[in-house]
């Protein structure tokens, strides 16, 4: 008869007390939206910095598929937590948080990178002063012989939607902010595909501007990635192709550009 191996009792998540507790504003000016999956090491610090961006702020954490206590930590601190037992799509949490936000300004960030309050404030202040969508100026590694496909896709999209001044600034990068008006015009569902949301914003005449550079490249943990294996790369490039397809469907196959004086009939 095989010997039974005792199964150890399930470990309870230990959540240490935190020296601060936030109180979400009842009528917030700024809504900070933070998708999170297993980020217990950084979530408290991210929330603390985000909450200080404005005196009237609410923090919304979308905890999707977390099993390490991320949701419990965020809730203990005082953030509003929306939980999902399974992992959502790459940017679906942004869409969900945006739909729940009450603020006049929506600020989007991630739970795995601690960004200083002053950097967040540069984005929200730009929206306060009339920018509809305020982007991070960070362009990624561009000074290379072989440019990364994601960096290239960002530049191509901005050129084709006739906003080349943005260079590689993108809603794909965090942090970024937008007005409630921009959210409503873009549509919360479309925020799940950031490049498409950017194309919609520009096509509909919103003021989209890169306003402040925050180097998130150094801080971003490249989990499961290498030069030859980047599971997110194909997804992001695909999102840009979807954005281009939407833009062409709205503006025509030339992207709204004139054919000038070409007489194509003379070719026949």
Residue 152 half-sphere exposure toward CB, CA atoms < 13 A: 11
Report the pLDDT value the prediction gives residue 10, as an integer from 0 to 100.
Answer: 44
CA pair distance 212, 214, nearest whole angstrom: 7
Convert the pLDDT of each residue in 217-253 to its tens digit: 765 555 444 455 667 889 899 999 999 999 999 987 7
The neighbouring-strand residues paired with 105 are: 30, 179
Neighbour-count burial of 100, counting CB atoms closer than 10 A to its CB (0-12 exposed, 13-18 middle, 19+ buried): middle
Which contiguous run of DSSP H or E holds residue 77?
A: helix 70-77
In this structure, the chain runs to a length of: 268
pLDDT band for position 147 (cuts 50, 70, 90): confident
Q: Find out whether the peptide bond into 175 is cis, omega within 30 degrees of 0.
A: yes
Report the pLDDT value the prediction gives residue 19, as an integer from 0 to 100.
Answer: 67
Which contiguous run of DSSP H or E holds residue 83?
A: strand 80-84
Higher pLDDT residue, 255 or 133? 133
Q: CATH for 18-114?
A: 3.90.550.10
Residue 89 pLDDT exceeds 50: yes
Residue 139 pLDDT exceeds 50: yes
Residue 213 pLDDT exceeds 50: yes
Report the pLDDT value the prediction gives residue 264, as an integer from 0 to 100.
Answer: 56
What's the token pair of residue 125? 């202040």
Report the pLDDT value the prediction gives residue 47, as an integer from 0 to 100.
Answer: 97
Residue 259 pLDDT exceeds 80: no
- Mean pLDDT in residue range 183-191: 97
Report the pLDDT value the prediction gives residue 176, as an integer from 0 to 100.
Answer: 97
pLDDT band for position 104 (cuts 50, 70, 90): very high
Domain boundaries, the chain: 18-114, 136-218+231-254
- Mean pLDDT in residue range 171-199: 97
CA pair distance 47, 45, nearest whole angstrom: 5
The model's pTM is: 0.85
Strands of the sheet with 80-84, listed across from one edge:
80-84, 57-64, 30-36, 105-108, 176-179, 133-136, 208-212
């Amino acid at each position: 008869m095989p010997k039974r191996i005792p199964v150890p009792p399930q470990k309870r998540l230990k959540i240490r007390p935190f020296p601060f507790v936030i109180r979400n504003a009842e009528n917030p000016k700024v809504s900070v939206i933070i998708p999170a999956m297993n980020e217990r090491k950084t979530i408290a610090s991210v929330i603390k910095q985000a909450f200080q961006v404005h005196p009237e702020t609410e923090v919304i954490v979308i905890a999707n598929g977390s099993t390490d206590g991320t949701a419990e930590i965020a809730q203990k601190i005082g953030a509003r937590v929306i939980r999902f037992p399974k992992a959502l799509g790459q940017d679906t949490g942004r869409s969900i948080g945006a739909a729940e936000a009450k603020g006049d300004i929506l600020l989007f960030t991630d739970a795995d990178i601690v960004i200083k309050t002053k950097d967040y404030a540069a984005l929200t202040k730009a929206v306060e002063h009339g920018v509809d969508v305020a982007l991070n100026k960070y362009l990624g590694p561009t000074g290379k012989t072989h440019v990364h496909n994601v960096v290239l896709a960002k530049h191509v999209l901005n050129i084709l939607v006739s906003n080349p001044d943005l260079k590689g600034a993108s809603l794909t990068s965090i942090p970024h902010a937008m007005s409630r008006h921009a959210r409503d015009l873009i549509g919360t569902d479309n925020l799940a595909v950031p490049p498409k949301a950017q194309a919609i914003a520009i096509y509909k005449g919103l003021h989209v501007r890169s306003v402040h550079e925050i180097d998130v490249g150094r801080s971003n943990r490249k989990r499961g990635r290498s030069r030859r294996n980047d599971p997110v790369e194909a997804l992001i490039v695909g999102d840009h192709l979807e954005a281009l397809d939407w833009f062409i469907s709205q503006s025509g196959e030339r992207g709204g550009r004139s054919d000038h004086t070409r007489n194509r009939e003379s070719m026949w």
